[in-house]
């Protein structure tokens, strides 16, 4: 095996939702492997510091406004990126949101906000990017899912529905586009500390409970995703498509402490 299997030099990666959190870590990992980065936010001014960081690491960047709940915004952003770089080789569908509520308290608007962002947005961004990939006969699409793609948790009804849908969408698009040289996979993190769930990690009892349920006995660190994202974006995964790669410390095994 050679390093060329994981080399992204000359590739352009579009990572949505890069103003904070895991989006920045994923983009940073791809840049470290050699990719130039197209980054998005609903306010591209919020990306300036991160763009400077990627530039300092020797990679090219391009920042665009993108609201994944707006079809015109999606098409305009993709067209701008293709106009700037000439092509998009890798898409990381990372932009997402969550609203945590007991199921009886979820409103119609809560549901629409989460599903429109996480599921509908991912589909239409993938659709917009895939047309160029198909013309060139090459592409890597990575939809960001979650351990909730395969497991249910109380208080996460809309979010779990969106992430379960992301897994199913991934398989459908893989079947659609595989013959064109485009692979589509789902990267599904487990419990990682982000700005979205920061409040939960302030509860020491909850963190202890969570850690006990994870076979490797700790929540995820953002750099735990580096190898997985580069693998799915690179030549090393050329025969992998339609799959969900769980990076969750084993929590999806359903294992609990044994009582003998």
Which residues are tagged catalytic? 159
Residues near 177 by Cβ (< 8 Å), separated by ≥ 6?
Answer: 130, 133, 134, 139, 141, 184
């Amino acid at each position: 095996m050679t390093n060329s299997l994981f080399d992204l030099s000359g590739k352009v990666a579009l990572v949505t939702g890069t103003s904070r959190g895991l989006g920045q870590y994923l983009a940073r990992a791809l840049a470290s492997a050699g990719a130039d980065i197209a980054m998005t936010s609903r306010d591209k001014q919020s990306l300036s510091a991160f763009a400077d960081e990627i530039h300092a690491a020797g990679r090219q960047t391009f920042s665009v406004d993108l609201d994944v709940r707006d079809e015109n915004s999606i098409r305009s952003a993709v067209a701008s990126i293709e106009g700037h770089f000439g092509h998009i080789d890798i898409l990381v569908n990372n932009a997402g949101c969550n609203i945590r509520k007991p199921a009886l308290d979820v409103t119609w608007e809560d549901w629409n906000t989460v599903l429109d962002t996480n599921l509908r947005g991912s589909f239409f961004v993938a659709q917009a990017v895939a047309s160029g990939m198909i013309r060139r006969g090459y592409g890597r699409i990575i939809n960001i899912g979650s351990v909730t793609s395969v497991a249910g948790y109380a208080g996460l009804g809309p979010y779990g529905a969106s992430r379960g849908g992301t897994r199913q969408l991934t398989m459908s698009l893989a079947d659609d586009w595989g013959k064109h040289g485009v692979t589509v996979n789902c990267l599904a993190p487990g419990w990682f500390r982000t700005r979205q769930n920061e409040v939960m990690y302030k509860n020491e009892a909850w963190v202890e409970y969570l850690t006990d349920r994870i076979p490797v006995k700790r929540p995820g660190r953002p750099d735990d995703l580096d190898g997985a994202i580069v693998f799915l974006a690179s030549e090393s995964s050329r025969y992998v498509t339609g799959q969900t790669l769980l990076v969750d410390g084993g929590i999806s095994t359903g294992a609990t402490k044994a009582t003998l």
